[in-house]
Amino acid sequence: MGAGKALSSKPWVYAVNTMPSLVPFTDGLEFCVGNPLDDTFLNVIRDEVQVLSGLLPDWLEKTNDSINQVRDMLKSVLDKNPASIDFKVKDEEQPIGQELKEGSRNSLQVMSPMIPNSWDALLSRDFSASPAHYRSVLIFDAPDRNKWFTGRQKELESLERCFALHNSCHNFRMAAICGLGGCGKTTLAVQFAWKHRAEYEGGVLWFSFEDEEKFKSCVNGLALRLRMMRNSFDLTLTQILTFISERKKRWLMVLDNVDQPLLSKKMRKVLIGIWKRQSNGHMLITTRHERKEICECVDLEPHGCIEVFSFAIGEAKEFLRSRLGSERAAGQEDTLNELVVELGCLPLALEQAGAHIKSLECTINEYLEDYKRERLRLLSEHQANPSWEYESRSRLSVHTTWLLNFDYVRKSRFGEVATRFVHTTAFLDPDEIHEGLISAELLSPEFPTGKKGEHLLINKQVVKVLTKYSLFQRKSVGCMRLHRVVQQVIRGMMTIQEIAKAMCTTFQLLKNAASSCSESTTDIPIFSIIRHWLSLKRHVLQQMPNFKDALDISRVEELEELITKGAEKIVFAGTLTPGKHSLENYRRLSALLDGDFDKWLGVPEKDYPPKKKIPTSSDPLIFRKKEDGV
């Protein structure tokens, strides 16, 4: 009976666990070991089982009440989100007792009732539904809007057409905003998100693609708020994308600064992953990549890519008036006009100038005079204000925003040729830079001499590198444009020795281009060469005092000769065939080349030269234009 005493402290535990092994014998019940037990021990077991059988109905009733409460709660969620959770639990019979028989005595039968929705089923069931189905989440991650936002109405309307916001059909759509760094791509995206916040009931999500670290910070920040953090970033990103793709209401996802040459695997998953095939949202990309490249990258139609340029002069002045206040800008219309022209109407430069003027509490005229002397120093002292926590400070100043793009040019396949050409363009007329100016042999003396066809392919490669991030923007077939503030940054990055070398190379490129001109002007128009020469000459004259202080005498003499005899060398570089044209024609062309740069640069060709006799159609000069008689 020692064993019986040990078991009697909690006999019901032992009884329940051993009930399946109790078998009737003629002499009584025995355990599986075959040892017979006396009636006293069996009576103890029977009494305890009877107690349990009396408690079981109450326990089942309480359990069923709890199950019903959970069922009602789930039903209320399902009513709000029909067909979102496929919850099926089969009815099962779970016996928790079996028959007990003892010879001729009254048998005790304990059978478990039917428990269709047990706690085990509820707790073990894996609900694979998205959090969007059972948690109402409001997401609006767009940065703060710019309270001085100006213009861009055509661009906003283009985005609205791309996304077809008036259409009730919630199909996935994609659009992109491309352009030079600092022209206001992110600001435009922010304005669009705020303007149409009500249409995106599914939320507005914002991810920085500037680098991997910022991208992960954006994803993890969203995951923490949604309680979707997982053991690895890959799982967290998958959970977030699943959550977004299953949202029933229309959403907007902005991928900001998609500028890297190579995107990481995780970034590509967001940009071109299959998760968005059946989704009901819109994706907006901001990038410095040129339109052609971004369209090929994400399979986007050209009309879905909105190109953004600098402000028009009127928009630029309106922005500064708003930024500075009407009182400060009152009565300074001419000065305001000159300042926005000096800044090239670039939104980032205008914002920096406005911040500087307000900080120093100076007049617009005082800032303009200082800017003419100091240029980039002023723009580097006062950055624009960041609009959100993940914005890189390097993008807040024109002095630094293009550094990564210059670095990409330098590291490209023909980086030496491309970089030296960038240096030469810092002294040219920025509005009309022809691809024909590129000469690999002149830009890099070490470059092997090859066939003309090979050099044409190299030129195309260089152009592709220069336009990839919109540092240079395509103006027309075979012609690019360069922002004047970008030119200032290029010159600011160069040493005095590099400036002198670049100027000499620029002259060689112009002379080479002049020698290839034909009367059909299929290559570079002679007017472009004239304007480039005038621009180069002005820069050489401005730098000459610095050259005399820092350079050896031979280089200084070379540059002085460039000023005095440069026009003559360009005229006689083969542009005009000797004996074919009169001496008077040579004099006219030389007069144009040695003209006043400040008066002529930027004047339309039909107005060239303002107060000089323009050759008539009978004059066989190659700078004549058939369409307007010049």
Q: Is the pLDDT of residue 590 over 70?
A: no
Q: Is residue 163 part of a domain?
A: yes
Bigger pLDDT: 276 or 90?
A: 276
Q: Is residue 521 part of a domain?
A: no
Question: 140 with 197: CB under 8 angstroms?
Answer: yes
Return the percent helix, strand and coil in the chain, to nearest 5: 55, 10, 35
> What CATH number has the domain bearing residue 280?
3.40.50.300
Task: Kindly state the average pLDDT of the residues 342-350.
Answer: 91
Bigger pLDDT: 343 or 170?
A: 343
479: three-class secondary structure by DSSP: strand
301 and 339 inside one domain? no
- The C-alpha angle with vertex 226 and arms to 223 and 231, in degrees rounded to 5, equals 45
Q: How large a percentage of the chain has pLDDT more than 90?
A: 35
Summarised one tens digit per residue, pLDDT across range 476-505 is 888 999 999 899 889 989 999 999 999 999
149 and 237 inside one domain? yes
Q: How many CA atoms lie within 13 A of 335 on its CB side?
A: 16
Bigger pLDDT: 78 or 559?
A: 559
User: What is the DSSP annotation of 185-202?
Assistant: HHHHHHHHHHHTGGG-TT
pLDDT of residue 572: 67
Domain count, the chain: 2
392 and 324 inside one domain? yes
Summarised one tens digit per residue, pLDDT across range 414-459 is 889 999 999 999 999 999 899 889 988 788 766 666 555 567 788 8
How far apart are alpha carbons 530 and 528 in whole angstroms?
5
Q: Is residue 86 part of a domain?
A: no
221 and 348 inside one domain? no
316 and 387 inside one domain? yes
Q: Is the pLDDT of residue 593 over 70?
A: no
Nearest to 48 by CA among 104, 105, 110, 1: 110
157 and 293 inside one domain? yes
Looking at mean pLDDT, say which of 123-132, 449-458, 516-525, 596-605 comes out highest: 449-458
Domain encompassing residue 299: 136-307
249 and 147 inside one domain? yes
215 and 277 inside one domain? yes
288 and 332 inside one domain? no
Bigger pLDDT: 605 or 292?
A: 292
Q: Is the pLDDT of residue 106 over 90?
A: no
Per-residue tokens: 179: 């352009």
- Among 80-89, 206-215, 448-457, name the one with the lowest average pLDDT: 80-89
Q: Is residue 493 part of a domain?
A: no
Bigger pLDDT: 121 or 320?
A: 320
Bigger pLDDT: 33 or 194?
A: 194
- Extended beta strands in 180-290, E state: 203-208, 251-256, 281-287
pLDDT of residue 121: 44
307, 342, 376 — which closes off a domain?
307
Task: Kindly state the average pLDDT of the residues 145-158.
Answer: 92
Q: Is the pLDDT of residue 193 over 70?
A: yes
pLDDT of residue 37: 58
- Region of 412 please: left (phi>0), alpha (psi -120 to 50) or beta: beta
Residue 475 phi, psi dihedral angles, 5° rounding: -100, -45
pTM for the model: 0.66
CB pairs under 8 A, 24+ apart, for 510-517?
510/437, 510/536, 510/570, 511/569, 511/570, 511/573, 512/439, 512/442, 512/573, 513/434, 513/436, 513/437, 514/570, 514/571, 514/573, 514/574, 514/575, 515/573, 515/574, 515/575, 516/436, 516/574, 517/575, 517/622
Q: Is the pLDDT of residue 326 over 60?
A: yes
Q: How confident is the model at residue 94 (pLDDT cuts 50, 70, 90)?
A: very low
pLDDT of residue 328: 79
273, 307, 341 — which closes off a domain?
307
Bigger pLDDT: 299 or 68?
A: 299
Q: Is the pLDDT of residue 43 over 50?
A: yes
pLDDT of residue 118: 44
295 and 318 inside one domain? no
Summarised one tens digit per residue, pLDDT across range 256-269 is 999 988 899 999 99
Distance between start and end Cα atoms, the chain = 127
291 and 198 inside one domain? yes
Q: Is residue 171 part of a domain?
A: yes
Q: Is residue 24 part of a domain?
A: no
Q: Is residue 629 part of a domain?
A: no
Q: How large a percentage of the chain has pLDDT more than 70?
A: 65
Per-residue tokens: 76: 């209320």
Q: Is the pLDDT of residue 39 over 70?
A: no
Q: How confident is the model at residue 613 (pLDDT cuts 50, 70, 90)?
A: very low
307, 331, 362 — which closes off a domain?
307
297 and 331 inside one domain? no
How many Å is the Cα radius of gyration of the chain? 40
Question: 379 with 399: CB under 8 angstroms?
Answer: yes
Q: Is residue 494 part of a domain?
A: no
